[in-house]
Amino acid sequence: MLQPPPPFLVERVHELDLSPGLTGLCVGYELGSWRRDQFAEHVLEWIPEFALSWSEADGLHAGNATQLIRRAAQRVYSTDTYAKRGEFGELFLHIAIRQVFQTIPAVSKIYFKDTPNDVVKGFDCVHVVVHDA
């Protein structure tokens, strides 16, 4: 399994005792500016884990890294209208869940898209949280 990138998002609110629980994240503000460029770089680091199957990610090595990372990016950015579609929201939510709850992704809907024009309509993926008993 790929190691996740280091945490980037800043937790502003994390109240799990509420019903429903509430967590608020922020990309942060540094030297008078939002960290938007750093956030964009951080998002790119997550694309392989988000868009590759478990077996593809597990088999990632120097000899196939470029091919697999290209494949992952094509799953997210496969049409000219990617910015207006649901893939970015899915990816942002994936990052937030992984960072805040230290989950292990089990199934990602993005991997099962049939065609480039298959719109991602909701957060249909499974994450697992491991608790020590």
What does pTM read for this prediction? 0.79
pLDDT tens-digit series, residues 101-116 = 999 887 766 655 555 5
Long-range contacts of the stretch 98-107 (C-beta < 8 A, 24+): 98/4, 98/46, 98/127, 99/4, 99/7, 99/8, 99/9, 99/25, 100/11, 100/14, 100/23, 100/25, 101/127, 101/129, 102/129, 103/127, 103/128, 103/129, 104/1, 104/128, 104/129, 104/130, 105/49, 105/50
What pLDDT does 88 receive?
A: 81
pLDDT digit string, tens, across residues 23-42: 999 999 989 999 999 999 99
Task: Tell me the mean pLDDT in the region 9-15.
Answer: 97
- Per-domain boundaries in the chain: 10-128
The pLDDT mean for the chain works out to 84
